[in-house]
Amino acid sequence: MIFQSHLPRFPLNHYIESLFYYEGLSPTHQLDRFLPDGNTELIINLNEIPQSIHHNQTLNQIQICKQAWVSGVRTKSITIPSGKGNKMLVIAFRKGKAFPFYPLPMNEISDFVIESDLIFGQSILDLRERLIASSSISHMFLLTENFLLTHAGCDSLQTDSFSRCIDYALTQIIKFPNQLCLEKLSDEIGYSQKHFIHLFKSQVGLTPKQYMNVLRFQKAILEIESTQIYDWSAIAHNSGFYDQSHFIHHFKEFSGFTPNEYIKIKTDALNYVPVS
């Protein structure tokens, strides 16, 4: 197996968590349930094996992805191949920071996986061809950085065109998903709630409440990983949910599993649950 990650250079590093390349995975199962994590990704398939998305309950194939695709921020899990035989390069954007690279409001791709040429045009397919012809993984990362800088515009990234109020709101939600009051946050940034929600949804993909609940769910996932004794009431409280009942409801809504079901089937691969 080959896995390499790369932190892009300035100013991309303010918007992109990492670029990573992998090939040679050999899992024993065929499908994974990929849980909502608050992230947006651009995936480039470097071989000719099409990828698929499957119905969460029946596991029937419902979508084919071929050359490159974008995965918007999600409020529900999706079922995808486990990675066997794949050869991929993935652009993982920082939470809520993909907006400068996309020519449309981010809420238009939320909970969708879309062929990337429908958004970026021929340029993303040209990048894919150059990546396939590349002589090294490090050169692939360089080509990808240059594509991103050209596509978003280096000058606009350096001047930080990303809305400062939404940037502040994002930072607070990411840091304190279990403590934050959204009404107070709206007052702090000086916009009406309606205008704040509109801006946030356009630039992040979800409403502030939806996004905060996704991050509370993720906090619960991390709490589960850090203990061997599962006190659901304490985990619910520490993650910011109103009570255990609300926690279980949201957990199943996001993952498709109750917390007790989840702990029986989870693996060490965070946010990926084998389902076949």
**Residue 83 belongs to domain with CATH number:** 2.60.120
Distance, CA of 73 to CA of 58 (rounded, Å): 23
| In-domain check, residue 99 | yes
> Containing domain of residue 70, as a range?
2-158
| In-domain check, residue 144 | yes
List, for residues 176-222, the tens digit of each pLDDT value: 988 878 888 888 888 888 988 999 999 999 999 999 999 999 999 99
List, for residues 127-162, the tens digit of each pLDDT value: 999 999 999 999 999 999 999 999 886 555 655 545
Residues 6 or more apart in contact with residue 48 via CB below 8 angstroms: none
| In-domain check, residue 90 | yes
| In-domain check, residue 73 | yes
Residue with tokens 């607070």: 172
DSSP string, 187-233: HHHTS-HHHHHHHHHHHHSS-HHHHHHHHHHHHHHHHHHT-SS--HH
| In-domain check, residue 174 | no
Q: In the beta sheet, which residues pair with residue 78?
A: 34
| In-domain check, residue 228 | no
How many domains does the structure of the chain reveal? 1
CA–CA distances in Å: residue 146 to residues 10, 70, 97, 245: 12, 18, 18, 48
| In-domain check, residue 225 | no
Helix runs in 94-136, H state only: 117-120, 122-133
Q: In the beta sheet, which residues pair with residue 68?
A: 44
What was the pLDDT predicted at 191?
Answer: 83
| In-domain check, residue 123 | yes
